[in-house]
Amino acid sequence: MRRQLIPVVIKSVFPEFSFPGIALLFPVILVSISAVPALAADFFEGQPPLHIARLESCQVGQRVITPGGKPATVTAVQGSGCKVRKDDVSYEDTYSAFMLDVVAGSGHASVEPVSAQAVTTGKYQCYFLIGSTLNYSLVDVNILSAGRYADKYGNKGKYRQNGKDIVFESGTFEKHRAYTMNGNIMLSSPTGSNYMSCSKQRGS
């Protein structure tokens, strides 16, 4: 059977993700890892990237705290995104659920506490979820040292970490939001409506 070659662009999977150097012709192969801890642990250091359940903590009417520390109320759920209205403004913003802290007693506790531990050097491969399967997105975040990173193709940039939040100050991911969770990097689109879970490769 002849294998068909077609262009694969990350932007076609996540409209808000757009990274340079991805639009290449190659066989359509997405490295899939079944969401089974025993299997995933063979590929990643620490806890495997199985925090997708955190998305379930988003419920209409739920009280949350946004990444900027502002109290808000969830007004709608849109796929992997949570639309919220902050208490001090009239408009709504959209975030990935993992970026929101749940207010105690608001009806649905968060899945697990988020570690504010500094991200360590190494290569973090990014995955997205389809059904119950994690799929390699062809996006890597290489942490070179404290404050310096590079993408899959060696394009470098700077970042800083404020608690659990990672702020990319320059480079490929400059306009993208990021968050640390149990030693992994949760990489979100600029608006926060889509995200990927990036986990450190063993030995990197």
pLDDT at 2 over 50: no
**34 token code pair:** 């079944």
Side chain identity at 121, as an amino acid letter?
A: T
Query: Which pTM does this prediction carry?
Result: 0.53
Distance CA 33, CA 157 (A): 29
Task: List the domains of the chain with CATH numbers.
Answer: 32-50+114-200 (2.40.128), 52-102 (2.30.30.140)
Residue 122 β-bridge partners: 143
Q: Which residues lie below 8 Å from residue 67, measured CB to CB, with a gap of 6+?
A: 95, 99, 100, 165, 177, 179
Write the pLDDT tens digit of every residue in 60-116.
Answer: 888 888 877 788 999 988 766 788 899 888 888 887 777 777 775 554 444 344 445
pLDDT value at residue 162: 87
Write the pLDDT tens digit of every residue in 163-197.
Answer: 888 999 999 999 888 888 778 898 887 776 677 88
- What distances in angstroms separate CA 61 from CA 29, 56, 86, one per listed residue? 40, 14, 12
pLDDT value at residue 17: 56
pLDDT value at residue 29: 30
Altogether, the residues listed in the chain come to a count of 204
- Helix H segments across 14-132? 37-40
Mean pLDDT is highest, among 13-17, 28-32, 189-193, for 189-193
pLDDT at 48 over 60: no
pLDDT at 39 over 60: no
